[in-house]
Amino acid sequence: MAMIRNIQAADDALADAIWWFKGFAAARSPAMDEGSGEHVALEGNLKEVRHFLNSINRASIRRLGEETAIVLTFAEFERLVDAVRVPRPAEIQAAITTVEAVLSAYQTEEQSARNLDAPF
């Protein structure tokens, strides 16, 4: 078994699993209704995982886990590095803009992840 080292490989592995489970479910009970059964729930869960992995790849989510990581694209990371390596006003402003955008998205996701019904 190959070790998964990037999001595309993880997505490909999930696609293979979905394909296999669909075939397994079809072979197991050919008369089974397409919209029912455990395989439909499993397929839905695997599709959610694929969607999550792809959103990380696109940096369309910023908060990863319980404050364990913030997702950045490589281009965003480069803007931060450029501001440190070549601290000119244009690079510094690009870094500030990037940090503000990422922080805003992170805070929005953090707010939505909180359980507002919790008594404490």
Distance CA 12, CA 3 (A): 12
Spatial contact of 109 and 62, defined as CB atoms under 8 Å apart? yes
pLDDT (tens digit, 9 = 90+) per residue, 60-102?
Answer: 888 877 767 888 999 999 999 999 998 999 999 999 999 999 9
Considering the domain architecture, whether residues 81 and 45 belong to the same structural domain is answered as no
Average pLDDT over residues 6-30: 76
This prediction's pTM: 0.61
Considering the domain architecture, whether residues 80 and 110 belong to the same structural domain is answered as yes
Range of the domain at 13: 7-27+38-58
Number of domains in the chain: 2
Considering the domain architecture, whether residues 76 and 54 belong to the same structural domain is answered as no
Give me 37's structure tokens.
Answer: 């059964």
